[in-house]
Amino acid sequence: MNSFLTELKALKVGKIKENERLANHTTMKIGGPADLFIEPSSIENLQKTMELIRKYNLNWRAIGRGSNLLVSDLGIEGVVIKLGSGLGALEINGTEVKVGGGYSLVSFATVICKKGLSGLEFAGGIPGSVGGAVYMNAGAHGSDISKILTKAHVLFPDGTLEWLSNEEMEFSYRTSVLQKKRPGIVVEAVFQLVEGDKDVIVAEMQKNKDYRKTTQPWNFPCAGSIFRNPLPNYAGKLIETAGLKGFSIGGAKISDMHGNFIVNDGNATAQDVMDLIQYIKDKIYELYEVKMETEVEIIGKNLQK
């Protein structure tokens, strides 16, 4: 790691920190240190970083704004790459928009809607980065990223960059090809939107934002939806019907507002959250014979699943 760090610093790729606590970079405010934490200042510098990681055969993980993540209290071995402002460019060309993977999804949706472009109203209030949203096909209110994405610019572990079409992304419910078959980092995305009445578009996005504020516990540290909806059922409804709202293990608590949210009610550990997730899985299967699958990504050292 010392030789890697020396070479990396010589490349001047961006911000570099050793043993950076990931609780500072996750919306759940949970997570131990990363051996090395890098925030590249450009796509080119991200590519240089990835090539060096490959040279030294190091473990790596990319994050955006830290939503949809549960990180072990023991942290992450190897390198954590954060997509931040260095990958935050935005280009609007008529109804086609290209945006960097590090751009805030909420900010992106707000800017686009105020331009009178429709298609991102569903994203009002969804935390996270554009890159993360594409990676997991984020969605709400009957729409998702797959409905508007034209192509994604992806950096693969071998250091190569490739544009993947919508079809090549193999989108499905909260999933893309990048999660399992072809791991990679979304550095840019191109969206095809449509012109519309700015006032109507902005009002629709604000309605979606307000709905989230009144139904989801965004005033507490949380990671967003914990479980995928086991369609035709809904995870939150099953958990609420089972009488689990408010149930807690350690500092991890099922939200009083929404059954599919676990909040950090003070000093929750990652293991508290894992234990609560397992408790919910067992209870829902016992009552309804429905298998619950997590939507939140669980990463890091020695988490007992």
Q: List, by residue number, the catalytic residues.
A: 174, 225, 295
Q: State the CB neighbour count (10 A cutoff) for residue 263.
A: 24
The separation between the first and the last C-alpha atoms of the chain, rounded to the nearest angstrom, is 29
Cis (ω within 30 of 0) for the bond into 217?
no
CA distance 252 to 294: 16
Helix (H, G, I), strand (E, B) or coil at 126: coil
Contact residues for 279 (Cβ-Cβ < 8 A; gap 6+): 247, 249
Cβ atoms 261, 254 nearer than 8 A: yes
Cβ atoms 193, 95 nearer than 8 A: yes
Phi, psi of 219 (to 5 degrees): -85, 0
Q: State the CB neighbour count (10 A cutoff) for residue 207.
A: 13
CA distance 42 to 27: 24
